Amino acid sequence: MSVLQYLRTESKAEYVNTANALYVETLHLLTHLSSRYSRLVAQPTARLAGEVQDYAEKANATYPSDEMRKKVRKEFLLHAVASLSALDVRLTQCYILLRCDKKGIVNSRQEPRTDAEQTIDRISEQTGLLIEQEKTLLKKVMESDAKR
């Protein structure tokens, strides 16, 4: 039986789902880079997004039942936060590249350039929201773990 939408609460593991969504959106953005930029920027940026996802999964898989596991989980969460901050900087650099050089936007469907720019703006807004949400969720989990 499902729960009515207005009665639903946020899952304690929502940070894992957000990290996964952030990874997908990051890859979606990177596919819009031209080949001259993607060779330089895409792989390190995708790696950072993958690290956020991996550390979130590892932290979620480590239940803080004793002091050793609490310490390990805290380290995973701290690594996720650090990778998230680095990803934020890398994505900002990608947006700057795309905004400065309009030819850097690849549009596989041959839409007019303004549509491609709108797509980039939408993706950048979505990734920004996901980054802020992930930061908040990771901080909540770390605060919750500290109280245990």
Tell whether 76 is covered by a domain: yes
Location of structure tokens 């729960």:
3
Tell whether 1 is covered by a domain: no
pLDDT at 143 over 60: yes
Domain range for 113: 13-147
pLDDT of residue 2: 64
Tell whether 5 is covered by a domain: no
Tell whether 121 is covered by a domain: yes
Q: Give the count of beta carbons closer than 10 Å to the beta carbon of residue 147.
A: 5
- Structural domains of the chain, count: 1
pLDDT tens digit sequence for 51-109: 999 999 999 999 888 999 999 999 999 999 999 999 999 999 888 887 776 655 655 55
pLDDT tens digit sequence for 16-53: 999 999 999 999 888 878 777 788 899 999 999 999 99
Tell whether 7 is covered by a domain: no
How much is the average pLDDT of 105-121? 64
pLDDT at 127 over 90: yes
pLDDT of residue 1: 53
Tell whether 8 is covered by a domain: no
Tell whether 67 is covered by a domain: yes
Radius of gyration of the chain measured on its C-alpha atoms: 18
pLDDT of residue 13: 87
Q: How confident is the model at residue 5 (pLDDT cuts 50, 70, 90)?
A: low
Whichever domain contains 97, its CATH number is 1.20.1440
How much is the average pLDDT of 128-146? 95
Report the b/e string of 33-58 with b at 16+ CB within 10 A: beeebbeebbeebbebbbbbbbbbbb
